[in-house]
């Protein structure tokens, strides 16, 4: 759990950081960060999860999903992204 919190703090501090990936295939503004990039000194041998997130404003990020690296993000992010887009359309 500490490693996950460390990863979240890291992307919150630098959302477009060098260890993140832009994921336009998953939706506008979506990025990913493999938590193995935060393992230094954690005692965790081989972390296997990826954070999917986006920047919501200048001071915030939204964690959309945390998935095992073998899971297909297209499959697991499809429904949440449709719901987010629908909410945005309702606000307009």
Query: In sequence order, which ranges of the chain are alpha helices (DSSP H)?
Result: 2-13, 73-91
Of 4, 30, 35, the closest CA to residue 19 belongs to 35
Q: What would the two tokens of residue 39 be?
A: 């393992």
Predicted TM-score (pTM) of this structure: 0.75
Of 12, 7, 8, the closest CA to residue 58 belongs to 12
The domain spans of the chain are 2-91
pLDDT in tens, 54-86: 998 878 899 999 898 888 878 777 655 556 666
Put residue 91 in one of left, alpha, beta given phi > 0 → left and psi -120 to 50 → alpha. alpha
Percent of the chain exceeding pLDDT 70 equals 76
Mean pLDDT of the chain: 81
> Does the structure show a pLDDT above 60 at 50?
yes
User: What value does the mean pLDDT take over residues 9-23?
Assistant: 92
Put residue 29 in one of left, alpha, beta given phi > 0 → left and psi -120 to 50 → alpha. left
């Amino acid at each position: 759990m500490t490693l996950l919190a460390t990863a979240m703090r890291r992307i919150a501090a630098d959302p477009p950081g060098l260890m993140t990936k832009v994921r336009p295939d998953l939706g506008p503004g979506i990025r990913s960060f493999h938590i193995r990039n935060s393992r230094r000194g954690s005692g965790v041998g081989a972390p296997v999860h990826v954070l999917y997130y986006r920047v919501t404003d200048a001071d915030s990020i939204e964690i959309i999903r945390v998935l095992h690296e073998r899971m297909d993000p297209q499959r697991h992010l499809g429904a949440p992204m449709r719901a987010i887009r629908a909410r945005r359309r309702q606000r307009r």
